[in-house]
Amino acid sequence: MPAHSKIRAVLFDLDGTLADTAPDLAYALNQTLIEAGKTALPLEPIRAVASNGSAPLIELGFGRNLDKATFEQYRQNLLSVYMNNLTRETTLMSGMESLLEQLEQNNILWGVVTNKPARFTDPLMAQLNLDQRASTIVSGDTTEHPKPHPLPLLHACKQLGTEPDECLYLGDAERDIEAGKRAEMGTIACRFGYLAEEDEIEQWGADRIIDHPQEVLAWT
15, 24, 172, 176: the active-site residue: 15
pLDDT at 4: 46
The residues near 187 (Cβ < 8 Å, ≥ 6 apart) are 168, 169, 171, 176, 177, 180, 181, 205, 206, 207, 208
pLDDT tens for 105-155 read: 999 999 999 999 999 999 999 999 999 999 999 999 999 999 999 999 999
pLDDT tens for 158-205 read: 999 999 999 999 999 999 999 999 999 999 999 999 999 999 999 999
Is 211 one of the catalytic residues? no
pLDDT tens for 76-110 read: 999 999 999 999 999 999 999 999 999 999 999 99
pTM of the model: 0.95
Amino acid residing at 41: L
Q: Compute the chain's Rg from CA coordinates.
A: 17
3-state DSSP: the chain helix, strand, coil percent, rounded to 5? 45, 15, 40
Is 131 one of the catalytic residues? no
13, 20, 24, 176: the active-site residue: 13
pLDDT at 3: 47
**What is the mean pLDDT of the segment spanning 21-29?**
98
